[in-house]
Structure 1
Amino acid sequence: MGFTSAWSISAHDDDFIRALAPRLLPLIAAERDEPFARERWERWRREPLPDFRTWWDPFGQSCPKEADALEAFLELTASGKHVQKMYDGLPPDDFCLLTDVWDLVADAEDIFVSVQSKEYALRSFLHAIGPDRAVLLPGWCGNLLLTSAQVRQRLPAIEQALDFTAEERAKAEDQDWLGYGDEEESVLDGPLRMWRHAAAHARGLCGVSVTIC
């Protein structure tokens, strides 16, 4: 059965970030505290996966040597059930990520979003950059909410994580399996662009990884 996912990072003023905090921050914390979540994260840090082209044999089965590690990584990088509530617009007040966050972004430069069919953009991003860089990112598995001050404070670490030499960039691109059209922004470009944009304009950031259908 197919699905479509979206990973977005959007810039907002601090008043909006503060209003969103009581809704989103507890959901991010719940994802981080989900049973086995930290175990899966630490396992990926200890055992980074090899070239993604080796994950499956010609019959679509995961390679036995790394099957457990691969399954743990796939579970770690799928959209979680808690932050998902932000998209589903559940009662009591039917607040929805689509209408109450994304639709309020008026300028294309204020948002990075990667929509993927039968895949999670966050998964390809994390594999491509690897755990040593990923540990420098705030939030949990692509989900984050930061004020403008926190964005500025974190910018050096983000640049350390996502600014590549030519050789490093080539290696990361080789492990990003998504593929992009002419107007699509790479997961290796969008997050750093958003961070620099938000820092330059005193904006906060909201990041979410969800299944949209």
Structure 2
Amino acid sequence: MEALRDAVTDQFPPDGEEGLFAAMARKASPYSALAYAPGPDAVLQLPGWFGDFLLDAEQVRARLPAAEDALALTGTQRREAVERIRTWMTDLGDDPAHDADELLDGPLHVLRHAARTGQGAACHVR
């Protein structure tokens, strides 16, 4: 499985290029914080299994609406989700300065970019 993840990662665009998002932390799992933030019903709408997915362009277009429902939060829902991310990253990790807004927005940015450009998308959690 690690070899497949490495092969997929080798295909990612260079750092800073549009369509790429990476979240890292020393002790806490950013994906776990993201999954905790909107709640279980919302996270079940995200593609893949515990943050791992490999989608072709058609699958990206098909899964994007559900991902937007799960993560395109506004108002009170967004404030509560951002606070849950901060709490997770602080209490279960040691990263109180982790950018919770970026963690919430990053996956949608990647999926929207892939849909707009007719590309597939990949994600994996280590």
TM range (shorter): 0.7 to 0.9
Larger radius of gyration: 1
Counterparts of 2:11 and 2:17, CA distance in 1: 14
In structure 2, what residue type is equivalent to 1:142?
G
Say whether 1:173 aligns with 2:89. no
Counterparts of 1:193 and 1:110, CA distance in 2: 7
Say whether 1:147 aligns with 2:56. yes
Return the offset for 1:145.
Answer: 0.5
Counterparts of 1:149 and 1:172, CA distance in 2: 29
Corresponding residue of 1:196: 112
Gaps in structure 1 of 5+ consecutive residues:
1-82, 88-94
Return the offset for 1:152.
Answer: 0.7
SS at the partner of 2:21?
A: strand
Give the TM-score normalised by the residue count of structure 1: 0.50
Of residues 34, 55, 70, the one that matches 1:161 is 70
Return the offset for 1:110.
Answer: 2.0
Of residues 34, 37, 53, the one that matches 1:125 is 34
Return the offset for 1:109.
Answer: 1.2
1:114 touches 1:185 (CA, 8 Å); kept in 2? no
2:37 touches 2:84 (CA, 8 Å); kept in 1? yes
Give the TM-score normalised by the residue count of structure 2: 0.81
Question: What aligned pairs does 1:104-123 form with structure 2 within 5 A after superposition?
Answer: 105-106=13-14, 108-123=17-32
* Structure 1 runs (4+) greater than 4 angstroms displaced: 95-98
Over aligned residues, Cα RMSD in angstroms? Answer: 2.1
Question: What aligned pairs does 1:1-213 form with structure 2 within 5 A after superposition?
Answer: 83-86=1-4, 96=7, 100-102=10-12, 105-106=13-14, 108-177=17-86, 178=89, 179-180=97-98, 186-210=102-126
